[in-house]
Amino acid sequence: MDLPVDEWKSYIFQKWSLLPKSIQDTISTADTLKDIFLHSSSLLQPEDETFLKSLASGYLVGKDPNAPPFYREEGNKKFQKKDYVGATVLYSKGISHARPHTADISLCYANRSAALFYMDEYEMCLKDITRAQMHGYPESLQPKVTLRKVECLVTLGRLQEAGQTIRDLESNFAAKPTVAAAQFQILQRNLCRLKMKVQERERLTATFPTTLTKIFEDMDLREVNEQIPCASSSVSLCMDPLRGRYLIATEDILPGELLLKEDAFVSVLNPGERPPLHQGLANKWDTRVTNGDLYCHRCLTHTLAMVPCDGCSYAKYCSHECMQQAWGLYHNRECPLGGLLLTLGIFCHVALRATLLARFEGASKVIRKLSSEISNKDMCSPESETPLRSDLGGESEENGNIVQTPVPGCDVNGKYENNYNAVFHLLPHTEHHSPEYKFLCALSVSALCRQLEAADSSKPDAAAPPILCSELSTWGVAMLKHMLQLQCNAQAITTIQQTALSGSEENNVTNSRQVRLATGIFPVVSLLNHSCSPNTSMSFVSTVATVRASEKIAKGQEILHCYGPHHSRMAVAERQQKLRAQYFFDCSCPVCQKEKHRATVGPRWEAFCCGRCGALLQGGDVLSCGGTSCMESVSRDHLISRVQDLQRQVGGAQKLLGNGQLEQAIQLLLGCRHDAENFLSPEHSVVGEMEDALAQAYAALGDWQKSAAHLQKSLQVVEAQHGPSSVEMGHELFKLAQLFFNGFAIPEALNTIERAEKVLLVHYGPCSDEIQELQKMKSCLLDSPPI
C-alpha cells in the first residue's frame, strides 16, 4: 500500500540481484541523490516499463460504459432491501464510471437522490436531483424527481422554493395534455398532498420560533506564534547539533491545550486493500466499499454523494468545487496515470503530488539545490545546511567560540512554516536505507517520470504547460528525496469510525475504531520527537492535524509524540525493533529505560496467575507462583497455547454474534470466561475481549443492565493497559454511557457522561462527534421528568 505492489517489488529486487557487483557498488556508494537517481534510471529498460504497465492495467480506473448499468442494478437490489447506504455507494460507483451528459450518469444520480432522501439527507438529495437534470435526465421521468425535490424543500423549511416548484410543475402539466390520465391523477394527488404540507409548515413556522442550537467551536491557538504560525505561543522550536530539531514548552501547559493545528502540505487518500482486478474474472466490477467510496479525494471529508472526475473513475470528490481545485493543483497530471500510481504505492504518489504542488510556490530554486549537493551528509544532516539568517537554533562550541546552529527549513527571517521549503528540509536518511530499497524507489520514480513525459508530449501544444519543467530529471531527484523522506516523516491521517454493536443497530450503541484514512506530510508535526509514553494526543479533522497536551507539560519540557510503538500496546523489545527498522534509532525514553531494567514480570494485561492461589506467575520459560506459600510452576509455552485456544473460541463467539446467534455466543463466552479465571490475570487483554463481547451480546438482546456490567469489567482491563486518561478509555466510557442511557439509568449515565467528556475533551476538543453526542444525551436526561 505505502510501497509498490509485491509483483513490482519482487521484479526490481530480482533485477538488483542480477546486476554486476560493480554497478551495485556504484549505486550503493553514490554521493548524492542525483547520482543514485541517474545511475538507477539509466538501467530502466523498455521491458521493465512494459511489465509495470501490465500491472497498472489491472486496475480499472477509466470510464467503462458497461459498468453504470451493472452498478445501478446492484444498487437497486440494495435499495429494495432498504439498505440505503449500500445502495448509495453502488450508485456512486456507477456515476464514477459514466461519461458526463449521458443517460447512465443522470439515472444513477436520480437513483442516488432517492436513497439519500430515505436517509434524511435532504440537502445532498437536492444536489443530486440538480445533477441528474444537468446531465440530461429523461423528460418522462422529470415529475418523479421534481416531487422528491418538493418533499426535500418542505422538510428543510424552504417553503417559497417548494411553492414555486409546485407551480412550475403544474404549468408543465397544463402545457402537456398528452400525459396519460392515470399518471396525471397520481401526480395531481401528490401535488395536493404537498400543497397541504407546505401550508401546514407555513403555519408551524409562524407559530414556533426556530430552535437555537448551541455550536461548540474548537479552541483557537493561544495567541500568535511568530516563529511557527500554526503552533501555539506556548511552543518554541529548538535546534541541537546532535538531536536535531525539536519543540519545547515555553510555559506550563495544561491537559487538553491545543498546541499545533496544521493542514497537510500534501495528502493522498489511502485506497484500502485493492488488489489489481485481472481480466478473466466473472465479475470484473468491484462492489466492495473502500475509503475511496466514502471520503473526498482532496479534502478527505466523509460524504455519500461523491462527484467523480470527468476523466477517470477513481478520483471522487465531495463537491464540484473540490474537484476543480484538485484538477488545477495536481489531478490534471495524475488523471491518466491512476493505474500506475496505484501500482507504485502511496509513497510514490505523495512524492509526485508534493512536487506538483511545489510548482505553485516557485520552488524550482529550492529543488535545483539538489544538483549542487556533494554528499549524502549534505542531504541528510541538519548541521550541513546552507546557513540561514536566523535568531533560532542551537549553540555549539568551535575553537572556543559559541556558534549559532541554524534551523533547517526556516526562511531568512527564522520562521518555520507549512510550505515546500520546510518539506524539502525533512531528512531522507539516505545513508540508512538499504541499496535495494533506494534502487526500488529510484526506478519507480524514473518510470513515473517517463510516463509523465509521455503524457505531456501526447497533448496538443496549447493544451497544457510542461508538467514540471524542462529539467525533468532534476524534479525526479526531488521525487526520490520525498519518497525516501516518507518512511520516517509520513503521517497517517486517521478518523474515528463508529460501528453499531452486533444486533444493536436500532439502539444507537456503537464501537469507536480508529482507521487510517490517508497519508500526508505535515512539516511542523514532523518536528515532534518520539516517546513511547508521549505527552500529546493527535487527532484529525479533514486534512488538518491537531495536537493537544494529553497531560501537564512543564515549562522547558520537550513536547513529544508517539510514532506508533506505544508502551501500552507492545513490550519494550518489540517497540525497539520497530523503531529501529522504520526510524533508525533506539528509543531511550523514560518508560523504555524503566522496562529494560524491570524484573521478569510482564505487563498486567499479559500476566498469568496461579490456578491454585491466584497470585501472579513470574519467570522466563518456566513461570513460578509469586505467592509465599505456593510452589506451583508451569511452562510459559503451555499457557500461551491455552491463551491462543481461548482467542480462537472468542473469535468463534464473535462470528456467532455477527450472525445473530446471541444465546449460543453468550454460552460460549461464559465458558471461555470460566476457563480464563483459572490462569489469566483479571486485567489480561483476552479477559477484556470476552467481557466486551458479552456486553455486545446482552446489548443486542436489550438487556442494558447486564451489558453495562460486563462492559465495566472490560473497562478495568482498558484502564490497566492504557491508563484512566487514555483515548481508549474515553471511547469505552462513551460506549458505557450509551448503555446506561438506553437503560434509562439516569444517575449512572450522567456520571459516565461526565467521565467520558473529561477524557475525550483532552484528546479531541469540544467539536468531536462523541462530545456532541454526549452533550445531547446529557440534555435529554436532564430534561426527563423524574420517575
Element (H, E) at 728: helix 727-742
699/710 Cα distance (integer angstroms): 10
169/173 Cα distance (integer angstroms): 6
Element (H, E) at 440: helix 435-457
> What cell does 166 get?
409546485
Q: What is the pLDDT of residue 253?
A: 93
Q: What is the pLDDT of residue 598?
A: 64
Continuous H helices in 490-567: none
Q: What is the pLDDT of residue 175?
A: 63
Single out the residue of 173, 176, 175, 177 nearest to residue 191, CA to CA: 173
Secondary structure percentages of the chain, helix, strand, coil, to 5 = 55, 10, 35
Amino acid at 775: Q
> What cell does 502 get?
452486533
Instruction: Give Cα 365 to chain centroid, integer Å.
Output: 33
Q: What is the pLDDT of residue 548?
A: 94
CA angle 353, 354, 356 (to 5 degrees): 60
Q: Which residues contact 782 (CB under 8 A, 6 or more apart)?
A: 750
Per-block mean pLDDT, blocks of 10 residues, the chain (787 long): 91 96 94 91 95 92 92 95 94 94 95 94 94 91 88 85 81 61 53 54 40 39 83 91 88 93 94 56 72 92 93 93 95 94 95 89 62 43 33 44 64 88 91 95 95 76 49 84 95 85 58 88 94 93 93 95 88 89 91 74 78 82 80 88 93 90 93 91 91 92 92 92 90 93 91 94 87 89 72
- How many Cβ atoms are within 10 Å of 509's Cβ, its own excluded? 26
Q: What is the pLDDT of residue 359?
A: 79
Query: Distances from the Cα of 348 to the Cαs of 115, 299, 351, 550, 619, in angstroms?
Result: 37, 19, 5, 34, 47
DSSP letter (8 states) at residue 470: S
Rounded to the nearest 10 degrees, the angle between the axes of helix 142-155 and helix 181-207 is: 10
DSSP letter (8 states) at residue 194: H
Beta bridge partners of 403: 396
- How many Cβ atoms are within 10 Å of 196's Cβ, its own excluded? 10
Torsion angles phi and psi, residue 240, rounded to 5? -130, 135
Beta bridge partners of 404: 395
Q: Which residues contact 741 (CB under 8 A, 6 or more apart)?
A: 749, 777, 780, 781
* Residue linked to cell 522504520: 582
Contact 246, 407 (CB under 8 A): no
Burial of 180 (0-12, 13-18, 19+ CB in 10 A): exposed
CA angle 395, 400, 401 (to 5 degrees): 45
622-625 sheet: strands from edge to edge: 617-619, 622-625, 633-635
* Exposure of 264 in the CB half-sphere (CA atoms within 13 A): 26
Element (H, E) at 536: strand 536-541
Contact 527, 237 (CB under 8 A): yes
324/321 Cα distance (integer angstroms): 5
366/761 Cα distance (integer angstroms): 41
> Residue 307, SS3?
strand
Beta bridge partners of 216: none
Beta bridge partners of 560: 529
Q: Which residues contact 197 (CB under 8 A, 6 or more apart)?
A: 154
Q: Which residues contact 422 (CB under 8 A, 6 or more apart)?
A: 265, 409, 416, 523, 524
